[in-house]
Amino acid sequence: MMRSTLQAVTDREFDKVVAAQKVPVLVEFWKPGCGHCRALMKELEQVQEELKKRVLILTMNVEEQFQIAAELEISSLPAVALYKNGEFVTFIGGLGTKEAIRTQMESVLPG
């Protein structure tokens, strides 16, 4: 079982959790056995650590939670969706390093 410091979220609570945030929310969609997903999660844990309360990073295991992933038409993993004010904004692409992730997020981060 993959242990992460990031908060896992379910399909049922997703809208409520995301809508409740005053900060941008990143959601990583992953599944067990996906090496890239695990590597990305490590980077995202560091981003969460560095940005603290300026962002909330959630994870969704698509083998257990597939409704949101289906709504977003996610076809390849890992995928990271960015939400602001409870609304889907964009997918963060070219994933890899925490620097790349942070750069793409700068525009929506509160000072």
Q: Are the C-beta atoms of residues 29 and 60 closer than 8 Å to each other?
A: yes
What mean pLDDT do residues 76-103 have?
88
Whether the predicted pLDDT of 1 surpasses 60: no
What's the pLDDT tens digit per position in 32-49? 999 999 999 999 999 999
Note the CATH architecture for domain 7-92: 3-Layer(aba) Sandwich (3.40)
Q: Are the C-beta atoms of residues 105 and 24 closer than 8 Å to each other?
A: yes
In the numeric block, the tokens 């379910």 are attached to 10
Whether the predicted pLDDT of 7 surpasses 60: yes
Q: Are the C-beta atoms of residues 67 and 12 closer than 8 Å to each other?
A: no
Whether the predicted pLDDT of 67 surpasses 80: yes
- The CB-side HSE value for 24 (13 A sphere, CA atoms) comes to 23
Q: Are the C-beta atoms of residues 70 and 14 closer than 8 Å to each other?
A: no
Radius of gyration of the chain (CA): 13
Rounded Cα gap, residues 73 and 76, in angstroms: 9
